[in-house]
Structure 1
Amino acid sequence: MRERIATACRVLAARGLADGILGHISVRTGEDEVLVRCRGPRERGLAWTEPADIHAVGLDGVPRDGIGDWSVPNELPLHLEVLRSRPDVTAVAHAHPPAVVAADLAGLAIRPVVGAYDIPGARLAAGGVPVYPRGVLIRTRRLAREMTDSLGDRPVVVLRGHGLTSTGATPEEAVLRAISVDTIARLSLTIASAGGTPADLPAEDLAELPDLGGAFNESVAWRHEVAGLQPEGGGRPGS
């Protein structure tokens, strides 16, 4: 699992969703234990995340595995509160995608403007992507509760002037959902910059979109993301 979390962090960086040293991923591994990406003594950023950067903490925020020179994220409460309040969630990804921030500040909601272009993304957007309206560092349980109130029972919440929090049954699912939201945000900005207005796909078209199943939505898509990583963690070909 540490290797999977490290790989998911590198994908976030390669996709441009978590620049520099910002962003982190956590996974529930027990009733009261979480593995989370921490900042180490040789911190170089998410693109170079290694399994050694992933450490166990309790739901009380106390390190469990001799964290040593590593430090937990300032926004650890963001992860812990989602995992406390959402038993259906196993993984949480927090990232700072510039397009998601820009689209929200421009008044462009994440809506189902695409169809077969990204079927999982269209389905996610059709269910609604809420916004937490405060551009704060979520480093207290009080602020984390505000964010989870905005998240509700949805898989992703946009954080105004900040980024997003994405959830899933696995770290891979949480990251793929974040990528879909980022893709829709980028398309919405492009449409608006060309003078158009992003419009929802008609309901009858959404109803025609098939459920391609987890094997395609996650396994095949994830192999593509991992294949795009350069050995040194420097990004995707052509990025």
Structure 2
Amino acid sequence: MSELDELRTLVAGACRVLAARGLADGILGHVSLRVDATRLLIRCRGPRERGLGYTTDEDIRLVDLDGAPGAPGALDGGYRPPNELPLHTEVLRTRGDVRAVVHAHPPEVVAADLAGVAIRPVVGAFDIPGTRLAAGGVPVYRRGVLVSNRALAAEMVGAMGDRPVVLLRGHGLTSAAATVEQSVLQAISVDQIARLSLRIVSAGGTLDDLPAEDMAELPDLGAGFTTETAWRHELARIHGVVAPP
């Protein structure tokens, strides 16, 4: 398998993970990965569309930053980039620290934002990476539009700033990171905090940020645990892998 084929498999798996976690039901959502200065792999629309949860390697196509084929035949077979390709490419053009972009439509994240419930560090050891992400702030792009051109994408990137995740009001979220794995795991963490926050508020509770002294005690478990192990778990979940008795 070539390196590009391996990357296609990675992006396709990331799409299925998002769907399995309930962050991208139906046919909406996409994942991209920069492969060089001018090209990226991205889940494209095809003639046999079955939704994010059924993404195959064939659905991951190589395009340039303007959506043209990234190699001869790259969009053969009736494939085309998603309408929101600019959402991905504007992040990649603007953020030198980013190589992978996730766009998803998690219902609880949308509901929490519309209800005025911000993503805050209300948990601690329950999700250490998610707590740290929330503590740094999760901004909101306040327009519920399809981010289908560079002008709108630039607005979204402006709202995002240097943060890893931005919420899109009435729409979903965009998560950006140096790796596909990290961009997906960030989105999952934000979704988990949104779900918990809605449950707390619905139960009549109040949302309080984790105390500073508790935040200071949270350990750095290292990428091998927080990313690599977590990613193996996510892939095992979608493949139905069960630990031996």
User: Which TM bucket (shorter chain)?
Assistant: over 0.9
| Corresponding position: 1:12 with 2:25 | no
> Counterparts of 2:125 and 2:204 in 1: how far apart (Å)?
23
- Whole-angstrom CA distance in 2 between matches of 1:117 and 1:196: 18
Question: Equivalent residue for 1:193?
Answer: 202
Computed over aligned residues only, the root mean square deviation of the Cα atoms, in angstroms, reads 1.1
2:221 aligns to what SS in structure 1? coil
Which one of 119, 137, 140 corresponds to residue 110 of structure 1?
A: 119
Report the 3-state secondary structure (helix = DSSP H, G, I; strand = E; otherwise coil) of the residue aligned with 1:17.
coil
Q: What is the CA deviation profile of residues 187-236 of structure 1, one whole-angstrom value per residue up to 9, with x for unaligned ones? A: 000000001111100011111101111000111001111111146xxxxx
Structure 2 residue aligned with 1:235 = none
Structure 2 residue 70 is the aligned partner of structure 1 residue 64: yes
Alpha-carbon distance in structure 1 between the residues aligned to 2:67 and 2:219? 41
Question: In structure 2, what is the equivalent of residue 161 of structure 1?
Answer: 170
- Does the alignment pair 1:42 with 2:45? no
Matched, 1:27 2:33: yes
**1:49 & 1:25 partners in 2: Cα distance?**
11
SS at match of 1:188: helix
- Report the Cα distance in structure 2 between the residues aligned to 1:176 and 1:182, rounded to whole angstroms: 10
CA distances 1:62-91 after superposition (whole Å, capped 9, x unpaired) = 222320211110000000000000010000
Q: Find the counterpart in structure 2 of residue 142 from structure 1.
A: 151
Partner of 1:121: 130
Alignment partners' CA distance in 2, 1:58 and 1:104 = 33
Render the CA deviation track for 1:107-133: whole Å, top value 9, x for unaligned. Answer: 000000000000000000000000000
1:130 to 139, 143, 156: 139
Find the aligned partners of 2:210 and 2:65 in 1 and give their Cα distance: 40
* Structure 2 residue identity aligned to 1:37: R
Unaligned segments of structure 1, at least 5 residues: 232-239
Say if 1:37 and 1:54, in contact at 8 Å, map to a contact too: yes
Amino acid at match of 1:173: Q
Deviations 1:120-172 (A, max 9, x none): 00000000000000000000100000000000000000000000000111111
Q: Which residue of 2 aligns with 1:234?
A: none
Equivalents in 2 of 1:207, 1:32: separation in Å?
41
Partner amino acid, structure 2, of 1:168: A
Q: What does the per-residue CA deviation read over 1:19-71, in whole Å, with 9 as the maximum and x for residues that have no partner?
A: 01000000010011111000111110011101110111111222223202111
Q: TM-score, structure 1 length as denominator?
A: 0.95
Provide runs of 4+ in structure 1 moved above 2 Å.
none
Conservation of the 8 A alpha-carbon contact between 1:61 and 1:80: no
Determine if the alignment matches structure 1 residue 207 to structure 2 residue 216. Answer: yes
Contact map agreement 1:81 1:145 (CA 8 A) in 2: yes
Alpha-carbon distance between aligned partners in 2 of 1:230 and 1:4, rounded to the nearest angstrom:
14
Match of 1:225, SS state, is helix
Q: What residue ranges of structure 2 are gaps of 5+ in the alignment? A: 1-6, 241-245
Aligned residues: 232
Tell me which of 202, 212, 233 is aligned to 1:224. 233
Q: 1:85 aligns with which of 94, 99, 102?
A: 94
